[in-house]
Amino acid sequence: MKITNVYEGVVPISSSIRNAWIDFSSMDCSIVAIESDVIRDGKPLVGYGFNSNGRYSAGEILRRRVLPRLTAAEPDSLLDEQGSLDPAKAWQVMMRNEKPGGHGERSVAVGVVDMALFDLASKIEGKPLYRYLSERHGDGQPDDSVFVYAAGGYYAPDKTLTDLQDEMRGFLDLGYDVVKMKIGGAGLAEDLRRIEAVIDVLDGDGSRLAVDVNGRFDLATALEYGRAIEPYGLFWYEEIGDPLDYHLNATVAEHYAGPIATGENLFSLQDARNLIRYGGMRPDRDILQFDPALSYGLTEYLRIQDMLGRHGWSSRRCIPHGGHQFSLHIAAALKLGGNESYPGEFQPTGGFADDAVVEKSRVGLTDIPGIGFEGKAAFYKVLRDLHS
Ligand SMILES: [Mg+2]
């Protein structure tokens, strides 16, 4: 088996939404297609990848470093002992001549290609990724559905409390039991009004609402908000301070009794390990949100899972950021706690298969070989146009 062509492109995933740090009006995303010499139904098998959301496209790194290394590699150097495509070996090739640390958006570029390689490897085996992955890296008995929660509640110009409530009711109507909203983009008094308005929609049950600060707070503000929101008994309090400020996180964890979630902007095993070592995260209640697509791919995510196990963490405490199909397969195969979902946002890349149905906040997997982008028509058209 060998790689015959690689294609790289950029798609806009623009949106009018805003969190506490950024607006998404110019957000875009790298996509790649990796074509193989394996022919199925008269056509070469192609693996696809994209870089989740929240980080811009990484085309320069892909074009100048990552993809040339992959295409220049001896085809056999990308295969395991059985002669199957081995994404972990390809990972070593892509990272050749790269110094440790300073991960920046290199992890995004590698993550896109790693996703495409796993898509291709599982297509070659004729299996959906979650089965392929469960057999190799899980216990062979993947979950048949995955917990998902609806992330929204962004700030938008002229968005009223009623608009926010309507948005959340819409998520409940779609089958979600747990919802998430942004905080920290307004003052405490206004954010508390927003939180209470959403809890009203949830029949007064704060344990079905997560709040996300997107890393905005300093320690004093983090503690002030923590004191104010603790009585609501929220689902979690997310990314409270700067993602790399482990001391802040640990201090909040000493004072805030409810669950804390973070990790979506930690892009490497080393950063994830530092969070576990120094971030005060509590394995009995807190949630880890590393996004495999943004952080050197599934190859690195498997190393992160191994590290977590050594530190006494269950995979069930992981609920990746991003709301994409790749992490849905990973969640089912590695028995994670769930996956994020952004109904209607970050199109065409985000979300699950077109026929996916959410029931009681759980969604099933597709049986299409690979990640199943072929079952997501609008995105599949974009991916196919990249190479045909
Ligand atoms: Mg977040």
Residues with CB under 5 A from ligand 1 (ion): 212
Residue 15 scores a pLDDT above 90: no
Quick one: average pLDDT of 134-147?
Answer: 98
Delineate the domains of the chain, giving CATH numbers in brackets: 3-126 (3.30.390.10), 137-386 (3.20.20.120)
Rg from Cα positions in the chain: 20
Ligand 1 center from residue 174 Cα (angstroms)? 21
Structure confidence at residue 327 (pLDDT): 98
321 in catalytic set: yes
DSSP string, 130-158: HHHHHHHHS-S---SEEEEEEE---B-TT
Residue 14 scores a pLDDT above 80: no
**Which residues fall within 8 angstroms of residue 24, CB to CB, at 6 or more apart?**
13, 14, 15, 16, 17, 18, 53, 346
| Dist CA 256 CA 297 (whole Å) | 32
How far CA 161 is from CA of 158, 198, 234, in Å, comes to 10, 8, 19
Task: Give the SS3 label for residue 45.
Answer: strand
Tell me the backbone φ, ψ of residue 268, rounded to 5 degrees: -155, 160
> Using omega within 30 degrees of 0 as the cis cutoff, is the peptide bond preceding 348 cis?
yes
Ligand 1 center from residue 79 Cα (angstroms)? 36
Ligand 1 center from residue 99 Cα (angstroms)? 28
| Dist CA 336 CA 339 (whole Å) | 8
Tens of pLDDT along 154-201? 998 899 999 999 999 999 999 999 999 999 999 999 999 999 999 999
Structure confidence at residue 104 (pLDDT): 87
Q: Which of 182, 324, 329, 376 is catalytic?
A: 182
Structure confidence at residue 18 (pLDDT): 75
Could you tell me if 130 and 333 are in contact, meaning their C-beta atoms sit under 8 angstroms apart? yes
Strands (E) in the chain, as ranges, are: 3-12, 28-40, 43-50, 145-151, 179-182, 209-212, 236-238, 260-262, 287-288, 339-341, 358-359, 362-364
* Torsion-angle region of 165 (φ positive above 0: left; ψ -120 to 50: alpha; else: beta): alpha
Ligand 1 center from residue 84 Cα (angstroms)? 36
| Dist CA 71 CA 82 (whole Å) | 21
Selection from 257, 290, 280, 242 nearest residue 111 by Cα: 290
Selection from 316, 292, 289 nearest residue 303 by Cα: 292
Q: Which residue type, as a one-letter code, is found at position 201?
A: V
Q: How many residues does the chain have?
A: 388
| Dist CA 201 CA 16 (whole Å) | 24
Ligand 1 center from residue 239 Cα (angstroms)? 6
Selection from 266, 206, 201 nearest residue 231 by Cα: 206
Tens of pLDDT along 193-214? 999 999 999 999 999 999 999 9
Sign of CA dihedral 286, 292, 296, 298: positive
Quick one: average pLDDT of 109-135?
Answer: 98
103 in catalytic set: no
Structure confidence at residue 321 (pLDDT): 97
Ligand 1 center from residue 151 Cα (angstroms)? 9
Structure confidence at residue 6 (pLDDT): 98
Tens of pLDDT along 354-388? 999 999 999 999 999 999 999 999 999 999 999 98
Ligand 1 center from residue 38 Cα (angstroms)? 39
The single-letter DSSP state of residue 347 is T
Task: Give the SS3 label for residue 128.
Answer: strand
Q: Which of 103, 180, 321, 335 is catalytic?
A: 321
Structure confidence at residue 344 (pLDDT): 79
Ligand 1 center from residue 340 Cα (angstroms)? 9
Tens of pLDDT along 307-339? 999 999 999 999 999 999 999 999 999 999 999
